[in-house]
């Protein structure tokens, strides 16, 4: 375990705490049913500052002149390790993950009031976890009970997540490398699904191809529930049943990404089940592809988060006019939002430890200005067009849904596209050739 990136982040947070104390718990284990648990996934904020993978763990960052980072974690337990696997224990964890001190998690309740006492600010994210809100309140009340002894409780509670969100928005070199690897693995998974696709297959068979490639290449699994949507199902933005058969002359939309070392990739590809686009499918696809390229070209330092959405939107609106779906001018359709029945989402979102990652999209209610892009920010670019049956459009468009999504890093002079799954028409059809 290389702990330096995590230690560096903790030092940055400590420098901003003043004489305050921050408490960052990881996620609890979640019961699936009876005595079976869901696969464990740590809290993203906790992971960002530790890289420590075990449940029942808490970071306490103590600011001030003698600033220090403490880890509370499970002790070694020979019997439980026989059943559940290796535990670091406090001593080994402190060394392996670069903490000043580590203590048994069982000692936290007694130590927490001592660590918080006589500090002016407690950094804790109220409302994120009701159980932890209660534990923090209990610790504060224990301190207040000692008021006659001259011991005082913090007079201010600040939101730690807002501080960490600002840090997490700009990725460091370690994060960028993790995300590159996650993007490479996810790209290979999408290419595998294209090669495997045959008419008559079930959507879940393509999902299985993705899962196999993700795990085969070392990913921890899916970053989110995958969407494998054949035909009209592609017009349902969050379709996850993945249990229908793939018709020969339809398209299939796959929105799937893997998670690696906590970091998500997020890719969408749309391709013909039979291996070749029809003339109409290709026409719609090329509109979306051109919109995506226009959006990627608009991702650069200093541009606002909305700029690349607007760049994609204008291409999509012109495409809807060319398809005789809407009438009038591009400017008029954009202003009236006449496109909304067929393009109802924005062109992307932040990406990182969470698929829809943290970070403000607007700078604040005072200005209403969209966040300006800066090197190190990572986002998705994912325009689409969706022609669900029943909408007032030419019937030959009914059931066509297309989305194309890539992961993009803002660089000093523009941007870099992380993801490399096939997306040009000729490239997709070549990958899917079965002769």
Catalytic positions: 35, 238, 255, 266, 345, 349, 356, 382, 386, 403, 405
| Cα angle: 152, vertex 155, 160; to 5 degrees | 120
d(CA 69, CA 152): 22
Phi, psi of 287 (to 5 degrees): -65, -45
Element (H, E) at 195: helix 173-196
Token code pair at residue 331: 């400017």
d(CA 219, CA 210): 11
410: left (phi over 0), alpha (psi -120 to 50) or beta: beta
Cβ neighbour number for residue 342 with a 10 Å cutoff: 24
Which of 37, 69, 43, 45 minimizes the C-alpha distance to 56?
Answer: 43
At 276 the three-state DSSP class reads coil
d(CA 264, CA 259): 5
The CA-atom distances, in angstroms, between 162 and each of 119, 231, 296, 377 are: 20, 41, 28, 17
**Alpha-carbon dihedral 181, 184, 186, 188, rounded to 10 degrees:** -140
d(CA 298, CA 294): 6
């Amino acid at each position: 375990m290389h702990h330096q990136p995590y230690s560096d982040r903790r030092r940055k947070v400590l420098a901003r705490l003043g004489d305050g104390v921050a408490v960052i718990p990881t996620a609890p284990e979640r019961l699936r049913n009876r005595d079976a648990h869901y696969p464990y996934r740590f809290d993203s904020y906790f992971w960002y500052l530790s890289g420590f993978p075990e449940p029942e763990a808490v970071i306490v960052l103590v600011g001030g002149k003698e600033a220090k980072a403490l880890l509370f974690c499970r002790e070694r337990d020979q019997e439980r390790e026989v059943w559940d696997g290796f535990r670091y224990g406090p001593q080994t964890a402190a060394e392996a993950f670069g903490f000043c001190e580590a203590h048994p998690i069982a000692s936290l309740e007694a130590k927490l009031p001592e660590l918080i006492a006589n500090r002016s600010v407690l950094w804790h994210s109220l409302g994120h976890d009701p159980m932890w809100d209660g534990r923090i309140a209990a610790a504060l009340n224990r301190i207040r009970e000692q008021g006659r002894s001259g011991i005082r409780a913090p007079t201010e509670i600040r939101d730690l997540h807002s501080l960490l969100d600002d840090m997490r928005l700009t990725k460091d070199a370690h994060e960028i490398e993790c995300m590159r690897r996650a993007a490479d693995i996810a790209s290979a998974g999408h290419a595998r699904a294209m090669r495997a696709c045959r008419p008559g297959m079930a959507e879940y068979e393509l999902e299985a191809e993705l899962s196999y490639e993700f795990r085969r290449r070392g990913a921890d699994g899916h970053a989110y529930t995958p969407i494998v949507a054949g035909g009209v199902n592609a017009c349902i933005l969050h379709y996850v049943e993945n249990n229908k058969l793939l018709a020969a002359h339809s398209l299939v939309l796959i929105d799937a990404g893997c998670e690696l070392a906590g970091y998500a990739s997020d890719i969408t590809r749309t391709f013909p089940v039979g291996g070749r686009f029809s003339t109409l499918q290709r026409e719609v696809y090329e509109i979306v592809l051109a919109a995506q390229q226009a959006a990627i070209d608009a991702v650069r330092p200093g541009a606002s988060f909305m700029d690349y959405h607007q760049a994609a939107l204008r291409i999509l609106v012109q495409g809807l006019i060319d398809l005789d779906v809407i009438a009038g001018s591009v400017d008029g359709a954009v202003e009236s939002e006449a496109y909304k029945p067929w393009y109802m989402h924005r062109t992307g979102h932040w990406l990182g430890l969470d698929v829809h990652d943290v970070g403000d999209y607007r700078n604040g209610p005072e200005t209403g200005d969209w966040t300006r892009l800066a090197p190190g920010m990572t986002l998705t670019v994912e325009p689409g067009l969706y022609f669900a049956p029943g909408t007032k459009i030419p019937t030959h468009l009914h059931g066509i849904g297309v989305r194309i999504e890539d992961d993009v890093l803002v660089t000093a002079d523009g941007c870099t596209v992380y993801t490399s799954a096939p997306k040009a028409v000729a490239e997709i059809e070549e990958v899917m050739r079965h002769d």
